[in-house]
């Protein structure tokens, strides 16, 4: 993929104290990404709805915390403007905030399905749109979108989530192609199941399931992947054990394999348990 692109000297932004905005920094994988970037020398702006959590992390990392609900367009724009003002620029945007209510598509209202798209697709695209002009004016920037393998492997009960996350992969490809020559790079980091932080880990603990270490990755691998995407100018990185990119390509060639694989791996049964658990919680 990279060979089709015009050659470009890659500048390590961390060495020049780049400024990175990390969304979804209040819990789960976001703080792991934030710590990795801080360790690489970035100054950070952290966002999420949970003010206490982002402020605590901001103290630890000597960073700025700006709370916002990213599904509210006005809050998103105000946060983006405040983030740019805080250090005078944003060099790196990590669109990490996201998640799925883990409920059946038909059991959710249309508004609930729309909210999934708003958080996982519209918000990252909107933030990229808000911060791109500044990056273009300075002739450099990097947008890293955190996506999921859910759509590619037909992961059960993720219709709207999978649409949003696959959409984010398409968005990243076109953004990368259109703006790379002007110094703004886009990368997508596509995650399989993460075992020790984030929504999957929380759900497993809540429902009383044990996430196997086989087939899952630690959150630290996501932090490293984000840094690699920036430093090595990667178009796509798949964070899964083994040859993740190959698995993703095989799923594209043989989409029928996804459901069979989910059945064999027990994902259907596991997700049925999770769905029933959520249903019971909602009913009472
Ligand atoms: N965990 C996995 O196994 C896995 C697998 C594949 C992909 N992913 C992707 O990885 C990313 C991180 O997931 P995670 O597992 O770390 O999830 P998580 O633990 O549920 O954390 C989600 C983060 O997003 C923020 N967020 C949620 N709704 C928001 C809203 N309306 N406005 C602003 N921020 C909001 C949350 O902060 P507040 O609640 O404070 O707002 C939180 O910081 C997501 O994009 C997810 O889709 C995760």
| Predicted pLDDT of residue 208 | 92
pLDDT tops 80 at residue 5: no
Whether 87 is catalytic:
no
Return all residues near 189 (Cβ < 8 A) that are at least 6 apart. Answer: 144, 145, 146, 147, 222, 225, 226, 229, 236, 237, 239
CA 90 – ligand 1 centroid, Å = 21
CA 165 – ligand 1 centroid, Å = 12
Domain range annotation of the chain = 11-242+254-283
23: closest CA among 69, 72, 56?
69
Choosing from 23, 24, 48, 100 the residue with most ligand 1 atoms within 8 A of its CB, the one to mutate for a pocket test is 24
- At 195-251, the pLDDT tens digits run 999 999 999 999 998 887 788 999 999 999 999 999 999 999 999 998 777 888 898
Lowest-confidence pick of 106-110, 143-147, 231-235, 268-272? 268-272
CA 28 – ligand 1 centroid, Å = 7
| Predicted pLDDT of residue 215 | 86
**Which ligand 1 atom sits nearest the alpha carbon of residue 99?**
47
Interatomic CA distance for residues 155 and 262, integer angstroms: 7
CATH H-level, domain 11-242+254-283: superfamily: NAD(P)-binding Rossmann-like Domain (3.40.50.720)
**Which ligand 1 atom sits nearest the alpha carbon of residue 199?**
15
Q: Give the pocket of ligand 1 (CB within 6 Å).
A: 24-30, 48-50, 69-71, 96-99, 119, 146, 148, 191, 193-194, 198-200
Tokens read off for 128: 């990229």
């Amino acid at each position: 993929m990279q060979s089709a692109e015009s050659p470009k000297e890659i500048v390590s932004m961390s060495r020049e104290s780049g400024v990175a905005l990390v969304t979804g920094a209040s819990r789960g994988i976001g703080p792991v990404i934030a710590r990795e970037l801080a360790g690489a020398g970035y100054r950070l702006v952290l966002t999420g709805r949970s003010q206490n959590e982002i402020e605590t992390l901001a103290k630890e990392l000597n960073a700025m915390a700006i709370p916002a609900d990213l599904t509210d367009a006005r809050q998103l724009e105000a946060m983006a403007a405040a983030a740019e003002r805080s250090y005078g620029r944003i060099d790196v945007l990590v669109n990490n905030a996201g998640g799925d209510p883990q409920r059946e598509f038909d059991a959710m209202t249309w508004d609930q399905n729309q909210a999934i798209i708003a958080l996982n697709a519209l918000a990252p695209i909107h933030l990229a749109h808000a911060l791109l002009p500044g990056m273009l004016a300075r002739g450099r920037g990097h947008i890293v979108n955190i996506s999921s393998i859910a759509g590619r492997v037909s992961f059960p009960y993720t219709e709207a989530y999978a649409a949003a996350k696959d959409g984010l992969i398409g968005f990243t490809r076109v953004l990368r192609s259109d703006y790379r020559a002007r110094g703004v790079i886009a990368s997508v980091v596509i995650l399989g199941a993460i075992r020790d932080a984030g929504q999957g880990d929380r759900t497993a603990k809540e429902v009383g399931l044990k996430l196997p270490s086989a087939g899952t990755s630690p959150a630290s691998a996501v932090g490293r992947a984000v840094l690699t995407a920036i430093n090595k100018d990667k178009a796509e990185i798949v964070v899964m054990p083994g040859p993740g990119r190959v698995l993703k390509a095989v799923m594209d060639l043989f989409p029928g394999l996804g459901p069979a694989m989910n059945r064999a791996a027990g994902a259907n049964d596991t997700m049925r348990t999770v769905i029933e658990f959520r249903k019971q919680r909602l009913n009472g």
